[in-house]
Structure formats: C-alpha cells, structure tokens
Amino acid sequence: MNPSRTAFTRRGFLGLAAAAAAAPTLSACGGSSSSSRNSIEFWDMPWATPAYNTAAKKITQSYVPASGDLRTNYQIIQWNNFYQTFSSAIASKTGPAVSTGAGFQAFQFEQQGAIAHADNVIDALKKNGQYDDFLPGVLEPFKSDNGYVAVPWQMDMRVFWYRKSLLDKADAAVPTDWPSLLQAGKALKKAGAIGFCTGSGAGNNIGNHFLIAMMLNNGGGVWTPDGHVDLLNDRNVEAVEFVRELVSNGVIDPGAVSYTTNNMDAQWKDKQAGFGLYVLGLPQRVGDTSGDIIAASPLTGPHGDKAALVFLNNIMMYKNTPSQSSSEAFLVYYLGRIKQLWQQNLMNSLPVFKSITALPEFTKDANNVRILKEYQPIAKTSAARGTALSANLAVLDGGQAINQFTQTVLGGKTDAKSALRTFQSGLQSVITS
C-alpha cells in the first residue's frame, strides 16, 4: 500500500451520501450507450501503489474471450470524486460494464436499477470449483432478495496493533480484554507513550471504525438483525462508556479528535503509539518492518464476546453493457487470476479465497497469518447485528452523523446515551428505510 494514501481499501464512504445528493440521477439521458461499444469496459481503482494497476491491467489485457464474447478494456478511476464519476457516467450510459469501487457502491446503484446481478457468475464459480474456495462468510452478505449484488475479492480488516518495545518499556502486557486494555493504556501513558492510537481528523475514519468495532466486540452494533437503527441498546452504551473511560484517563490522546491518518502514521513510525486499531499491513505502511509492530489477538469483551470489523471489497457488474454474457465471462476469468496480485506482493488486504491464503507470498508475513486465523472467523461487517449489506451502510460510513458522534466521544463531551441518541437521530434522518 502507498503509505501516503488514506486507507481506501474498502471505500464505503468519503461523502457518498453528500455525493448522491449532488450527482445526476440514473434516469438522466445523453451520451453514447455502452451497447454501441464492441468491448467490455472494466473500471478499477488505485487500490495500492501504481504497480498494482499495472498488474491488474496486464491481467485484463491477457484475457482471451471465447468465441462470441467481447474483449475487455481497463481503465483506472481515481478515488477523488469517484462517486460523481461513476454516477454521471452511468446516468449518461457511458459507464463501465464491470468495476471495483466503494464497499457499498453496488448496493447504492442496485437501488437505482443499474446493477446486473451476479448469479450466473456464482453458478460458473460453482462449476469450476472456485465457489468452494471462498473463505467462510464472505459471500453471503452480497445475496439480496433479487440475487447476488456483487462478488467479493478482498477483505479490509480493522486490526489491533502494538509496539512491543513500548509495552516492554511500560512493563505492560499485551491487552487481551477491556480491563487489560485500560491497564496497559495507563501504563503506556505513564511511560510517555500514546496508550491507544486513534484519530478523527479530516478524512480520517479510523476513529469511527474504532467505535463501531468496540460495539461489535461487545455484542452490539448499529442495526437490529433485520436492519433497523438500534444504537441505544445496552451493549452499545457499555462500549461507548468504556471508550469514554479511555479518554478520561488520557489513554486516548486529547488531540485524537484532529489527528489525520498522516498524524497516526507518524505516531506509529516515530515510536509514540503503543497500541491501537488500524488497517492491515501497518508495519509496511509506516516503513517499520523490524518486527516491533505486531498484530494483537482480538480483544474479549466484558460478556465474553469477540468480534472484528471488516469491509468486504467487491467487483460489480452493470446492466448497461454491450454483452452481459461477456461481462460475466470476464469476471469469472478475472477472479481466477487475482492470485497474481498477492503473488507479486501488491495487495495490502486479505484475500477472500483459501488458495491465496496458502500462497508462500502471503504466509511469509506472520501478522497476515495471525489476522487470518484469529480475526477472519469472528469478523463482522458494519451491518451487524445483521449480516446483509445494503445502501444504508454507505450512508452510515460516509455521513456526518458518525463523524460527529466520534468527535463527541473522543472529545469527552457528553455521556454515552446522549452521544448515541444524537447519533441515532442523525442517522435515521438520512437513511433510505
């Protein structure tokens, strides 16, 4: 991953709700229809360094379609204003036939009637044996009442990390549960380090993810099992009160409300941060592969719960294609070749296929192995306590309600119930159902 870039690897956010209001509706007309093209357009995002896109383009250009199917063109779409780019292109019928993109993007465009369901792709994967290669739990969230909205290809896990030398200096054990997290945080602070590294400054969603992760780790979550907002449940209140305890004890730095990901990177790189929640591949991200930054095991909540927050990045297809069968054939081909991206050490995310996790290029990183073994089986999406993904998750992840909530909690400004009540009101005012 490019360390200078904010963690784009799941991208269900970055102002999607605001962008949706400003972007054209999909009923707009104008532009040339993709049905007039004689090739499939595959739009991909800069998921890592430029070498990633070079490799993905090579995979695409190596595709030799069967007789009657179309070839595929590869195009890079930048994250900056990406939602407007997709929405405008789809509205004018000049958009892609297949794309990667934001984690919940497919569900937003499905609501607007633009997504081609992937059931035929899933059937093809069953026939070629790749369906059984999916890790447990990664495919089910994409099944809607109308079919598979998209197909997952990588996982972006939120992971607890620690710097061993700082814990040793503070004479503190690696936290395993909430009490030991508080104890270690106090010891780290006393030793002059940051006890829990997080942030909610401009463009930084890690603080948001930390709060959601703690709710999940306590058996709570934003939603009921059937998808209704339920932020004021007792487990959420307990989780937020615990975070407020970290704040009141100075374990979370008072400046965290303004820390960007660049600030957090510097804190880890400069050996200031002792423990915290961050993205996969933290040592590589900050350029410290000495072995001092280590993935901790998931914490155990006060009621014995264990959970981790994961974002499932996916590949989606669109109805406006010159050939739906060609879109499907290319997607099956591409999914069968993405192991090359991990073989070339280009991906800073967990694969969704068991066979890729067995590659020597993946298993040589002890942190990856631990995260896969300990985090993936207990991972939950931000849809929890439900499991099905939806467009509402983009509104949650990209909206102002969660940003304001995180600022309030990390700033120690009010009690848990008041903060959650305001969060619930703000979220309910903008969700679609």
195 has a pLDDT exceeding 50 = yes
Report the pLDDT value the prediction gives residue 299, as an integer from 0 to 100.
98
Question: pLDDT band at 319, cuts 50/70/90?
Answer: very high
Q: What letters, b where the CB count within 10 A reaches 16 and e where it falls short, cover 243-281?
A: bbebbeeebbbeebbbbbbebbbebbbeebbbbbbbbbb
- As a whole number of angstroms, the distance between CA 414 and CA 197 comes to 21
Q: How far is 431 from 425, CA to CA, in rounded Å? A: 10
- Return all residues near 270 (Cβ < 8 A) that are at least 6 apart: none
pLDDT at 398: 80
Q: Band of the pLDDT at 24, cuts 50, 70, 90?
A: very low
- On the question of pLDDT at 27 being above 60, the answer is no
Residue 334 has pLDDT above 80, yes or no: yes
Tokens 């305890």, residue? Answer: 245
pLDDT on residue 23: 38
Segment 64-69 shows an average pLDDT of: 96
- Quick check: 9 pLDDT over 80? no
Q: What is the pLDDT of residue 433?
A: 59
pLDDT in tens, 223-268: 999 999 999 999 999 999 999 999 999 999 999 999 999 999 999 9
Question: For position 292, what pLDDT does the model report?
Answer: 98
Mean pLDDT of 345-372: 97
Looking at residue 37, its pLDDT comes to 73
Two structure tokens written together for 419: 């903060």
Q: Are 280 and 371 in contact (CB under 8 A)?
A: yes
Sign, CA torsion 20/21/27/30: negative
pLDDT in tens, 168-180: 999 999 999 999 9
Judge whether residue 167 has pLDDT over 70.
yes
Residue 374 binned pLDDT confidence (cut-offs 50, 70, 90):
very high
pLDDT of residue 25: 37
For 370-426, what is the HEC assignment?
Answer: HHHHHHHHHEECCCCCCCCCCCHHHHHHHCHHHHHHHHHHHCCCCCHHHHHHHHHHH
What is the model's pLDDT at position 36? 47
pLDDT of 22 above 60: no
pLDDT at 309: 98
All structural domains of the chain, each given as residue ranges with its CATH number in brackets, are 16-156+311-380 (3.40.190.10), 159-278+399-428 (3.40.190.10)
What pLDDT sits at residue 28? 34
Secondary structure (DSSP) of 180-214? HHHHHHHHHHHTTSBSBB---STT--HHHHHHHHH
- pLDDT, tens digit (0-9, with 9 covering 90-100), for 108-166: 999 999 999 999 999 999 999 999 999 999 999 999 999 999 999 999 999 999 999 99
